[in-house]
Amino acid sequence: MPATWLLTGQRFSQPVSVLIAVVPIITFAIFIVKFINDFSVLDEVKQRVQLEAVVIGFALTAMLLMLLFLLGLCDISNPDLFGYGQLAGYCWGFYFIGWLISKKKYGV
Amino acid sequence: MKNTIKVERAKKNWTQADLATHIGISRQGLNSIETGKFIPSTVLALRMAKVFNTTVEVLFQLDDLEE
């Protein structure tokens, strides 16, 4: 979020802009490593919930990308609603949908 | 998959939380297993059988449809 605000609202030279763009990716990579490490210490029911959440999230994201690609071929696109940034948000949204479905399924 | 976890727990007078602590999972996880929503791994089933001093076959049985 701060990186988005900085990159859209401020004017920086390109090297500084690239640096601002890369920093969140590094922190996100650290988050992913931590997420995977935490996953290994969960009990097997919670592991299953997380696994299904990721599977559902991935499947829905792939479906959305496929739909957008096909609509793009028909010259239908809306970058304001379906830009790269928004797609990252949808991806997280789909993961949480999957997480809720899986939690409900196993009653955890 | 049917199970007799609740019966075995009652014999030992254990709550779900007690058993969950003994086998190293969360109480919600154990509840999910006990209600048949989640099928445990072989390791967890064996661990459960061990704390009840019984066998996996006593704890878990196939449904008629699964046989």
How far apart CA B26 and CA A45 sit, in angstroms, is 8
Judging contacts by C-beta atoms under 8 Å, the chain A residues touching residue B48 are none
Residue B66 lies in a domain: no
Domain boundaries, chain A: 1-41, 43-107
Nearest in space to A35 (alpha carbons), one of A99, A102, A89: A99
- We report the CATH number of the domain holding residue B51 as 1.10.260.40
Q: pLDDT tens for residues A20-62? A: 888 888 988 999 999 899 988 899 999 999 999 999 999 999 9
Do the chains contact at B29 and A105, CB–CB below 8 Å? no
Could you give the dihedral angle defined by the CA atoms of residues A67, A68, A74 and A78, in that order, rounded to the nearest 10 degrees?
140
Residue A78's pLDDT is what? 83
Q: How many domains does chain B have?
A: 1
Kindly state whether A107 is in contact with chain B, defined as any CB-CB distance less than 8 angstroms: yes
Q: Which two tokens stand for residue B29?
A: 């996880």
Specify the pairing of strand B2-3 against strand B60-61. Answer: antiparallel
